[in-house]
Amino acid sequence: MYELILSNFAKHISLTPAETEYVKTLLEHRVVKKNTVILKSGDICRNFYFVTKGCLRMLNVDDKGREHIVSFYPENWWAVELSSFYSHSPAFYSIDALEDTELFYFTQDSVDILYEEIPKFERFFRIFLQNAVVMYQRRMTAMLSQPAEDRYALFQKRYPGLEQRIAQKHIAAHLGITPVFLSMLRKRL
């Protein structure tokens, strides 16, 4: 049950058997059905999620009801509304499940305990934050300067196999194009 998350930790830190057992006591587990909202815009993000099965997305809905999907979180990805989690302020984005999804998560208190009891987790989450900033900067630059074809290619590279699992309208909302244009783009490519 813990193999995927433990191997994710092992990418950046080495845990002793005692530390591994301690981490397991802090981890919460949750299974959510497709379309379940786990963070609503305006609420405070209190959990740092890790997807072991399924897929989440982070999005904002504008005043006209259009969805703007910032990111997808399939298996082996971490999901969190960073600004809200670290500043304890209302979330700008929502997070929901695109598929039935199985999650592990740390609460804010658990993350603080990890930093205190197993300081190497500060390194783990620092690396996570660095990678997240790089990913968002590149995504923002792509949205501002790259044609849809290039953004679609980046989507395929970043999320291999995901386009067979989720609706075309969600991919289009992530790319900043209409589903009709995405369909034309796929045919052209």
Please give, one letter per residue, the 3-state secondary structure of the chain.
CCHHHHHHHHCCCCCCHHHHHHHHHHCEEEEECCCCEEECCCCECCEEEEEEECCEEEEEECCCCCEEEEEEECCCCEECCHHHHHHCCECCCEEEECCCEEEEEEEHHHHHHHHHHCCHHHHHHHHHHHHHHHHHHHHHHHHHHCCHHHHHHHHHHHCCCHHHCCCHHHHHHHHCCCHHHHHHHHHHC
pLDDT tens-digit series, residues 128-156: 999 999 999 999 999 999 999 999 999 99
pLDDT of residue 167: 95
pLDDT(166) > 90: yes
pLDDT of residue 42: 97
Q: How confident is the model at residue 68 (pLDDT cuts 50, 70, 90)?
A: very high
CATH H-level, domain 3-145: superfamily:
Jelly Rolls (2.60.120.10)
Q: What length does the chain have?
A: 189
pLDDT tens-digit series, residues 78-88: 999 999 999 99
pLDDT(157) > 90: yes
pLDDT(93) > 90: yes
Record the pTM: 0.94
Query: Where along the chain do its domains lie?
Result: 3-145, 146-189
Shortest CA distance to 5 belongs to which of 85, 138, 103? 103
Mean confidence (pLDDT) of the chain: 96
Mean pLDDT of the region 50-59? 98
pLDDT of residue 112: 96
pLDDT of residue 189: 81
pLDDT of residue 46: 97
pLDDT of residue 142: 93
Q: How confident is the model at residue 127 (pLDDT cuts 50, 70, 90)?
A: very high
The token pair that represents 109 in the structure block: 């208190």
